[in-house]
Homo-oligomer: A and B are copies of this chain.
Amino acid sequence: MSVGKINQERREEILSAALDLAESDGLAAVSLRAIGARVGLTPMALYGYFANKDELLDWLVGRVLREVPPPDPEASWRERLLACARGARAAAHRYPRTFPLLLTRPVVLPEAMRVVDPLYEALLDAGIPDERVAGWERMFSTFVLGFAVSEVSGRFGEGNLGTKERRDRLGPGELPAHHRLGEALDLPVDWDAEFEEGLARLVAMVEEEGARAG
């Protein structure tokens, strides 16, 4: 309680320690005891800064979101949209083990709104009607977060085990398309290009709807 008087610097220090810990040892290693040890406090002292571990993780999401820089307001809506998307993906690359928290945890933080606001602004400037802006933002951020999380958490399955061996354990009768495609599935993936391609398609759709409406 009495939120206003709490030592903000110490809170930042705690969150940085949690972030370091998550990145070096994984999210599972983020315990109040381990964080406390890093900043020289007992685990119970942390309850002076956060109501509980869940709230600490919400603050951690905010900590990551703060590193997504706002776009240059002088730039075109198109450039601003691209900058937001690339900034978010860059944060995912910087904090690959922490970033998946963004998709799992509901975002009710001021930091989230500060990241979303320039998106709204850009969509409005593109000519999207008021009542369609929120929906476009959801589509946009779902793509960016979904892609970034999938990429950094290895959901697409590069390297866990050769795709080939896994494929061969189920015969062509069970996975006809996999076998028809053969080596085409083992081509190296250019994540940057794939992200940019999806992004360009989204921006083109925004432009089209904006032009049609405006």
A contacts, CB < 8 Å to B:
100, 103-108, 110, 113-114, 116-121, 124, 130-131, 133-135, 138-139, 142-143, 145-147, 149-150, 153-157, 160-161, 166-167, 169-170, 174-178, 180-181, 184-185, 187, 189, 194, 197-198, 201, 205
What is the minimal beta-carbon distance from A131 to any residue of chain B, in angstroms?
Answer: 5
Q: In the complex, given contacts A114-B170, A134-B184, what are 18 additional A-B residue pairs having Cβ atoms less than 8 angstroms apart?
A: A103-B150, A103-B153, A104-B149, A104-B153, A113-B170, A117-B174, A117-B177, A117-B178, A119-B177, A120-B177, A121-B176, A124-B180, A131-B184, A131-B187, A135-B197, A138-B194, A139-B194, A143-B143
Question: Can you report 6 residue pairs joining A to B where beta carbons are below 8 Å apart?
Answer: A103-B146, A104-B149, A134-B185, A134-B189, A135-B197, A143-B143
Taking a contact as CB atoms closer than 8 A, the residue among B113, B114, B134, B170 that contacts A110 in the complex is B170
Q: Which residues of B contact A106 (CB under 8 A)?
A: 153-155, 157, 160
Q: Which residues of B contact A177 (CB under 8 A)?
A: 117-121, 124
Q: Which residues of B contact A174 (CB under 8 A)?
A: 114, 117
Nearest B residue to A139 via CB reads B198
Q: Which residues of B contact A143 (CB under 8 A)?
A: 142-143, 146
Q: Which residues of B contact A149 (CB under 8 A)?
A: 103-104, 146
Q: Which residues of B contact A145 (CB under 8 A)?
A: 146, 150
Inter-chain CA distance A142–B148, complex, in Å, is: 10
Q: Which residues of B contact A130 (CB under 8 A)?
A: 181, 184
Q: Are B169 and A110 in contact (CB under 8 A)?
A: yes
A-B pairs, top 6 by smallest CB distance, nearest first, are A146-B146, A120-B177, A130-B184, A121-B177, A142-B146, A108-B160
Inter-chain CA distance A61–B6, complex, in Å, is: 42
Nearest B residue to A129 via CB reads B184
Nearest B residue to A180 via CB reads B124
